[in-house]
Amino acid sequence: MARSPLDPAVARAAWRRAEPIHAMIYFAPEARRRYGALGLDGLTGYFASRSAAFGPVPAEPVIATFFNFKPALVRTALPAAWERADPASVLRARLDAADAALRRAFSAVEDAAVTVAEAAGLARRAAEAACEHLPGRSLFAAHAALPWPDEPHLVLWHAQTLLREFRGDGHVNALLVAGVNGLDSLVLHAATGDVPVRFLRRSRGWTGDEWAEAVDGLRSRGLLAAADGDTDALALTDAGRELRQSVEDRTDALAEPAYRVLGEDGCARLAEAARPLSRAVVDAGLLDLKATPTTG
């Protein structure tokens, strides 16, 4: 019998609480060291490690699926990265980095083995349910084809990686339906005040002129309030807030099928079990935005 839909807000809370367990792989020094040993530094390591599930692809699939990076920035890394390291080696380095980083972080958690095992079991159920919804989710599907690791902390990391890419692919779909391209999505995000303009612009490779052109375009659509030529002083209009909310609502709805198998109680348990683990990731310094030029 088909399960009833879940309140998307419940699913979002479970994903958000566990997200640091995946996201740390973009910042952890363990990852930088292992990519560096393969000859992949900085952005090259990021693009290669996150796209390695595709195989030795050129820049175009990454431009399409990563969405908000300037295409020229991606092309500085791919396909040149595959001349230094093959995708299988990069995937091994990524998993090894996750292993080392999470062992370090979780060592500070009381009864970590029990908590990790519970969170891993719940997250894996959700991730495996997500695998029943592959169409239109290319980046998720590539990662879904990878083998599951054995250790509980790596099962948890891999499950959360799948859930992150599942939600991310849905978010890209929602943005495209709303008529928002990659650069526009960054400008609208910056206008919320949640992330500094300069971080979003520079980490994704966009110039000041390109950013200013996008700002002007969004203002002409009535999505940003007018300002006196300062492209770093952004504010959403009512229409802009409505558009962003509609995109977030659609993203939540597209992500919900993964968590439906857990039900409300299971989502609550996942969020509760993930709380001390995500806190340990933060306390261990694995989410230091200054440690890397880009995020996931």
Q: Which residues of the chain have pLDDT under 50?
A: 1, 292-296
Alpha-carbon distance of 45 to 41, in angstroms, equals 5
Running DSSP on this structure, what letter comes out for residue 192?
A: T
Alpha-carbon distance of 93 to 39, in angstroms, equals 12
> Element (H or E) spanning 175, and its range?
helix 152-177
What is the structure's pLDDT at 233? 78
| 178 and 243 Cβ atoms separated by less than 8 Å | yes
Structure tokens, 24 = 């740390």
Count CB atoms within 10 A of the CB of residue 163. 27
Which residues does residue 224 pair with via DSSP β-bridges, in sequence order?
236
Burial class for 111, CB neighbours closer than 10 Å (0-12, 13-18, 19+): exposed
> Element (H or E) spanning 183, and its range?
helix 182-190
| 90 and 52 Cβ atoms separated by less than 8 Å | yes
Which residues does residue 236 pair with via DSSP β-bridges, in sequence order?
224
Q: Is 237 helix (H, G, I), strand (E, B) or coil?
A: coil
Give the CA angle between residues 211, 231, 218 to the nearest 5°.
65
Alpha-carbon distance of 172 to 217, in angstroms, equals 20
Residue type, 56: P
What is the structure's pLDDT at 289? 61
| 155 and 243 Cβ atoms separated by less than 8 Å | no
User: What is the per-residue pLDDT across 149-182, written as a single tens digit (0 to 9) for each?
Assistant: 999 999 999 999 999 999 999 999 999 999 999 9
What is the structure's pLDDT at 291? 54
Count CB atoms within 10 A of the CB of residue 107. 10
Q: What share of the chain is helix, strand, coil (3-state, %, to 5)?
A: 70, 0, 30
What is the structure's pLDDT at 85? 98
Please state at what angle helix 8-23 crosses helix 112-130, rounded to 10 degrees.
120
pTM equals 0.94
Alpha-carbon distance of 198 to 206, in angstroms, equals 10
Count CB atoms within 10 A of the CB of residue 80. 13
Residue type, 112: A
273 alpha-carbon distance from chain centroid: 20
What is the structure's pLDDT at 54? 98
What is the structure's pLDDT at 81? 98
What is the structure's pLDDT at 293? 45
Q: Is 154 helix (H, G, I), strand (E, B) or coil?
A: helix
What is the structure's pLDDT at 295? 41
What is the structure's pLDDT at 228? 59
Q: What is the DSSP string of 42-67?
A: HHHHHHHHHHGGG-S--HHHHHHHH-
What is the structure's pLDDT at 5? 80
